[in-house]
A and B are shown apart, each in its own frame.
Chain A
């Protein structure tokens, strides 16, 4: 004859059952969540887009001077991410350089941010392409990552108050460059 289960035993069985159900459910629910978070860490936040404040930075120029975004405050800025090894960057560089040459007259500024490159290579390229605008060296990719750029070229148009007014990911056309500058407040 089976021994009757006491009230205390039944409570113990119930507690055990509920506990194992809870933990297994938790494992099942959380496992995919943990896996997903490992795979998507950081990818959910969006790039600094139009209307967002430009992310401040302070880098060195090719000649070792400090170049910070703050120093361009007060006038529209065209900020171009590029690399000396990048075909489309080279293709668009005459346009960027031409606009840089007209920057004083247009009341705006142009800044190059060299990414995934070396100072030697950038100096050589700047000499070869006769670049007339300041170049900041993003040697550790911190600015590129802050602006969430997969690769160069990319151009940000920032107004005098430090707000991003236009973004062009990839090569830029003369029309888009002028449009971006106008949105940033340049008088063209």
Chain B
């Protein structure tokens, strides 16, 4: 073998190798799916909320101003069916009585970051079929009181023509009897409640009192912190998808309000939009499309967007879409750096591993990091909860992290963040049983 040739060839080979390795690394760093960047979160053990035998489900988490972590969820009520309405069971049935459609809303708190929990308080004084899934109860706090909203089926039992219920409780867990907030009955669901920076309350929901060409409307109502109405129901938007949760965030001491929802147009394309108010949610500007995903679907995604605002005023949004083909399906993220006028091109956080509607949520830390949690199928075709973190630089993603080990399916994660404590809760189901699972992580400062 010619020695100069060998030397030259080896030098070229080493040079090319270095170039290729560098290219591989830089390509990896540029990818939105990069596993480089901040490390995985370190989670504590799983905690369970609620009474196992009552099938707890659909948790929602929020820190109160005094630093306690609160959770609200739903559970079976002991009494099976309203008198006289129980359907007959066949002799070969799995039980001698039908399972109850009646569900309660429970509220409990933890003063040690989710390690131990108070005895739960029942929020609904009257036995009701408190709805869950995408439409579970939510809680907000002001003036040492807890305010909870949920929905119940309409008079004829129709889940899709429901009513928004509201109750207020004191520090001892005494809740006033719930009342219905929607003035037109059997037309509202998917409520959210927020304490506005002025100490009052804002409740929003999806309403169908006008069954027109744009069949769903965004309705709001303001309440004082004593629970009394500050306003009547008022409409601030239309064209909403009928069954996807709403997202909300505030700025400027509550003068600016951002809401996100899934829209549906005449061709059944369901993209997400941002609606912005600069007058404390009295009125909202024209919706701004977050991403032209082009998902044309005539049925119910039941998977709404999530929004958070960081200290720099950037708006972070995550959502699920199938896009224009199954190959596009997944959890996406985008950011607005101009106060909601426009959004950056979407980034894929994780693609679907199989045809399945996924559920995403996000939370923004004081250090401007974005925490995303969602469900997706694992290699055994079971839905699990996954997380990634986006660093404040807006480019560096943490590795994909699976945080549930459900034997059945895990879904609809929720997040709560206070200082350096991150909480994640979700529902696990297997067969007819469900449970609420919570895990905590300490977030690096």
Contacts and interface: CB of A to CB of B under 8 A. Distances in A.
Binding partners A and B: yes
B101 A124 contact: yes
A35 B28 CA distance: 10
- Among A32, A47, A90, A145, the one with the most B-chain Cβ atoms within 10 Å of its Cβ is A145
Contact of B379 (A21, A31, A41, A148): A41
Contacts of B100: 120
A158 to B, nearest CB: 19
B351 A151 contact: no
Interface stretch (B3-11, B60-68, B195-203, B334-342): B3-11
Contacts of A25: 17, 20
B354 A42 contact: yes
Main secondary structure of the interface of B (DSSP, over half): loop
Main secondary structure of the interface of A (DSSP, over half): helix
A85 B322 contact: no
Contacts of B242: 87
Given A120-B100, A170-B299, A42 B92 contact: no
Contact-residue size bin, chain B (C-beta under 8 Å from the other chain):
35 or more
Given A20-B13, A150-B322, A123 B353 contact: no
Nearest to B92: A65
Nearest to B14: A17
- Among B3, B322, B379, the one with the most A-chain Cβ atoms within 10 Å of its Cβ is B3
B87 A17 contact: no
- Among B16, B21, B33, B356, the one with the most A-chain Cβ atoms within 10 Å of its Cβ is B356
A40 interface: yes
Interface in B217-251: 242-243
B191 to A, nearest CB: 15
B57 to A, nearest CB: 9
Nearest to A43: B326
A161 interface: no
B409 A153 contact: no
A87 B408 CA distance: 26
Interface string B141-165: 0000000000000001111100000
A123 B101 contact: yes
A123 B33 contact: no
B354 A63 contact: no
B350 interface: yes
Given A17-B11, A21-B13, A140 B409 contact: yes
Interface string B11-48: 11110111011011001100101000000000000000
Contacts of B356: 141, 145, 150
A116 B135 CA distance: 14
B431 interface: yes
A96 B210 CA distance: 26
Interface in A20-71: 20-21, 23-25, 27-28, 31-32, 35, 38-43, 47, 60, 63-65
Given A88-B300, A124-B129, A139-B432, 18 more contacts: A20-B13, A20-B17, A27-B24, A31-B27, A35-B33, A47-B355, A64-B89, A85-B159, A118-B432, A119-B432, A121-B159, A123-B98, A139-B431, A145-B355, A150-B297, A152-B299, A170-B298, A171-B299
14 contacts: A16-B14, A21-B14, A39-B350, A42-B354, A42-B381, A63-B89, A63-B92, A119-B99, A120-B99, A120-B101, A127-B85, A127-B87, A140-B431, A148-B354
The 5 A-B residue pairs whose C-beta atoms are closest, nearest first, are: A17-B13, A17-B10, A170-B298, A64-B94, A39-B351
